[in-house]
Amino acid sequence: MSGKVLIIGAGGVGGVVAHKCAQLPEVFTEICLASRTKSKCDRIAAQIAESLADKLNNPIQTEQLDADKVPETVALIRRFKPDVLINVALPYQDLAIMDACLEAAPEVKVDYLDTANYEPRDEARFSYEYQWPYHDRFKEAGCMALLGSGFDPGVTNVFCAYAQKHLFDEIHTIDIIDANAGDHGLPFATNFNPEINIREITAKGRYWQQGQWKETEPLSVHGTFDFPEPAVGAREIYLLYHEEMESLVKHIPGLQRIRFWMTFSESYLTHLRVLQNVGMTGIKPVEFQGKQIVPLEFLKTLLPDPGSLGPLTKGKTCIGCVFDGVKDGEPKQSYIYNVCDHEACYQEVQSQAISYTTGVPAMIGAKLMLTDVWKQPGVWNMEQFDPDPFMDDLKHYGLPWKVVDGKRYHGQLPDVL
């Protein structure tokens, strides 16, 4: 017997996490799903009860929760007494939920896991500098916090740890490449929370080289990359900043450069440019009919809910890391990647692949914590633990991966001046 899990967040990723935890009742003995909107939790619980009726030991408990309010979260933790808390709410809420975990101790010692680092509401900026300082407090409380257990960040961090352990004596460059070749047939929609997605994409690009961070104008650096999956094919990749780079530069010795790339269609970028030009992606409040509103928050209400894209989306994702380094004194390049099918994900957990590729690693991270495979009080990033059990679980729970010679792929990467 392992333990009880509290999942906070009932969007697309929360639904996947709840489904995948429910598939392992021998590990996740009791599940509580909480969100600001309880009806979303009830709908997910009903889906799981129908699809896994013969596997559930206990019905999924649902709760209404405003995770911005620390006392509410503390009260729920003390009432449900979870062994691990999976935070798949908004990144704005990370610190409040971490504070609640600490405040609930020592009465209830609950470990914490999230999939994206903290981001202040009033600034399009995300950084581990807000969460790393919690290390000593979690350590003193005897609790563990695992940061960024999604795909990117998350699986990509573990790919790097695996490459460091098994494939290279020294890694010199890492290029993380995220392609979504899915098609939902809608004019414009984001694959995860529109507010977070658009803030990320419209920020300046950033990469690390020779010990320092360098900035580029948003989406200004790009090139064509031919992915190994034929259904993905050749796609335009754009340089962005992504949080896993911030921890990997600390934990991969000998690293000389790391970059992050993502694919976008021209139609998507055209819509985004128009929205930017008219101010709809702004995060500063403006006055409208005597009230203060944030344009991006208003835009979010008009765009399709990412959770609604599951039955519409067809195609595949391909996310992985291209490495360049040295093995046994010889130059070497490798490419580790996963390919995920949108329709297969929907058939299994009624979700598109973007939510699936985030939710499955969150479940795996929590599983390794509950079973004491990854267990250490304090605040940690994914690459700081042995990658092998996580890599094994990826194969067992829906995200198989491949390692191929990376020479051809390394040669396709755009130069950044």
Residue 225 has pLDDT above 90, yes or no: yes
Question: Distance between CA 154 and CA 158 in Å, rounded?
Answer: 6
Residue 55 has pLDDT above 80, yes or no: no
List, in order of start, the domains of the chain with CATH numbers: 3-147 (3.40.50.720), 155-349+399-410 (3.30.360.10)
| CA-based nearest residue to 364, from 5, 101, 1, 119 | 5
For residue 1, name the pLDDT band (cuts at 50, 70, 90).
Answer: low
pLDDT at 417: 61
Taking only the tens place, the pLDDT of each residue in 292-307 is 988 888 888 888 877 7
> Residue 206 phi/psi, 5° resolution?
-155, 135
| Residue 287 tokens, joined | 């006055």
pLDDT at 330: 98
CA 74 to centroid of chain Cα atoms: 24
Per residue, the 3-state secondary structure of the chain, as one string, reads CCEEEEEECCCHHHHHHHHHHHCCCCCEEEEEEEECCHHHHHHHHHHHHHHCCCCCCCCCEEEECCCCCHHHHHHHHHHHCCCEEEECCCHHHHHHHHHHHHHHCCCCCCEEEECCCCCCCCCCCCCHHHCHHHHHHHHHHCCEEEECCECCCEHHHHHHHHHHHHHCCEEEEEEEEEEECCECCCCCCCCCCHHHHHHHHHCCEEEEECCEEEEECCCCCEEEEECCCCCCCEEEEEEECCCHHHHHHHHCCCCCEEEEEEECCHHHHHHHHHHHHCCCCCCCCEEECCEEECHHHHHHHHCCCHHHCCCCCECEEEEEEEEEEEECCEEEEEEEEEEEEHHHHHHHHCCCHHHHHHHHHHHHHHHHHHCCCCCCCEEEEHHHCCHHHHHHHHHHCCCCEEEEECHHHHCCCCCCC
Give strand pairing partners of 62: 33
% the chain with pLDDT above 70: 98
Taking only the tens place, the pLDDT of each residue in 127-151 is 899 999 999 999 999 999 999 999 9
Taking only the tens place, the pLDDT of each residue in 347-394 is 999 999 999 999 999 999 999 999 999 999 999 999 999 999 999 999
Within 10 angstroms of residue 147's Cβ, the number of other Cβ atoms is: 29
